[in-house]
Chains A and B, each alone.
Chain A
Amino acid sequence: MKNAIKKPKGAGEKFGIKITVDKKLDPVSKKPLFASKLDRVNAIIASLQHAH
């Protein structure tokens, strides 16, 4: 049986900043933001000597 993991601290608990869920961001999060950068990241990981 797997051990249960303690939930790590989030930014609110760790730093005392306010974190507000804003559903207006949901459609934006579905957009392919930074898509070209993601291609670059995939290429970087692919070129690692030891596959991730």
Chain B
Amino acid sequence: MNYPKYDLNVSSESDLYEFYSEGNNGVIRKLIAFSATQYSELYNLAFGDATDSDDVDDTVESKNGDRDKVLATVAASVYEYTSNYPNRNIFFGGSTPSRTRLYKMVITKNYDEIVSDFDIFVLYNDGIEGSLLKREHFNVKAEYKNCVGFIVQRKLQNI
């Protein structure tokens, strides 16, 4: 992820991050939240534009001309979060299929660097109606047409 990144503000418990995207449409406040799921040690990453009421809209397309910098900043937040909570696994998926495909493209492009720090899993099904989801290690050569999201798990070292 050798891209420019925005500096981050973070909540005391490191579960909410804030940064300011600066581009064609001005300055846009962004929030990244890590939330517990009903599964132990699995947390959901979600991000989007902050609204005036401090809520988040993850469907808006900012078109601020800094997509790579924004995505690199979100990736940086995963490094920061898993530095504080190394045993927590992070799920993320796009709010639309095209965004999930974008995330797949970003992972593929930066695979070597990401995989040196994280185990990466992909969740997908084979497109047959009624088929269950599968989870497997991400393979850059696989197509994963019906991909619904990803899970990353920080690689840990003993002291």
Give chain A's interface residues, CB within 8 Å of chain B: 3-15, 17-23, 25-26, 28-29, 31, 33-34, 37-38, 41-42, 44-45, 47-50, 52
Say which residue of A8, A49, A50 sits within 8 Å of B154 (CB atoms). A8
Q: Are B157 and A6 in contact (CB under 8 A)?
A: yes
Q: Are B44 and A6 in contact (CB under 8 A)?
A: no
Q: Are B158 and A5 in contact (CB under 8 A)?
A: yes
6 more A-B residue pairs beyond the given contacts A8-B117, A15-B1, with a C-beta to C-beta distance below 8 A: A9-B117, A11-B77, A11-B83, A29-B13, A29-B15, A34-B44
Q: Are B83 and A6 in contact (CB under 8 A)?
A: no
- Decide if B35 is an interface residue (CB 8 Å cutoff): yes
Q: Are B79 and A15 in contact (CB under 8 A)?
A: yes
Mark contacts of B69-80 with chain A using CB atoms, 8 A cut-off: 1 yes-contact digit, 0 otherwise.
Answer: 000010011011
- Interface size, B (range): 35 or more
Say which residue of B9, B54, B56, B91 sits within 8 Å of A22 (CB atoms). B9
Q: Are A33 and B11 in contact (CB under 8 A)?
A: no
A-chain residues with CB within 8 Å of residue B73 when the two chains form the complex: 17
A45 to B93, CA, bound (A): 12
A39 to B29, CA, bound (A): 25
Q: Are B133 and A7 in contact (CB under 8 A)?
A: no
Q: Are A29 and B42 in contact (CB under 8 A)?
A: no
Q: Are A4 and B76 in contact (CB under 8 A)?
A: no
